[in-house]
Amino acid sequence: MASSVLVGRQVKYLSEFGFEVSERPAKGYKIESYYLPTNSVKEVIVTKVEGDVEKEIARVSSLDNVIDLVKAFEGYPQKLVEAILQILK
């Protein structure tokens, strides 16, 4: 039985307002994305960063309904939602 292989891991950091930054912010978000070639699915893990603490706030994939995804991120910066949707398309 073959195991799932993750391909193309990418990490993006965003400020607390949702703007992309080059380094891990003291306060903001981390978006990790993976591609699973066995079933052609993109997966995104969204983590809130506050100082040294990271807390996973969502795990979504390209199989999820876009409208449900947008509703789930209500109250978060629009740029964060746009970045997630861009990765999943």
Q: What is the band of 4 on the pLDDT scale with cuts at 50, 70, 90?
A: low
Please write the tens of the pLDDT for every residue from 33-77: 999 888 889 999 999 999 999 999 999 999 999 999 999 999 999
Whether residue 66 lies inside any domain: the answer is yes
Q: Residue 75: give the domain boundaries.
A: 7-88
Q: How far is it, in rounded angstroms, from Cα 88 to Cα 82?
A: 10
Q: Taking the model in full, what pTM does it have?
A: 0.85
Tokens at 32, concatenated: 């990790």
Q: How far is it, in rounded angstroms, from Cα 9 to Cα 11?
A: 7
Whether residue 2 lies inside any domain: the answer is no
Q: How far is it, in rounded angstroms, from Cα 89 to Cα 63?
A: 10
Q: What is the band of 3 on the pLDDT scale with cuts at 50, 70, 90?
A: very low
Q: What is the pLDDT of residue 2?
A: 45
Whether residue 67 lies inside any domain: the answer is yes
Q: What is the pLDDT of residue 9?
A: 84
**Total domains in the fold of the chain:** 1
- Contact between 21 and 32 (Cβ < 8 Å): no
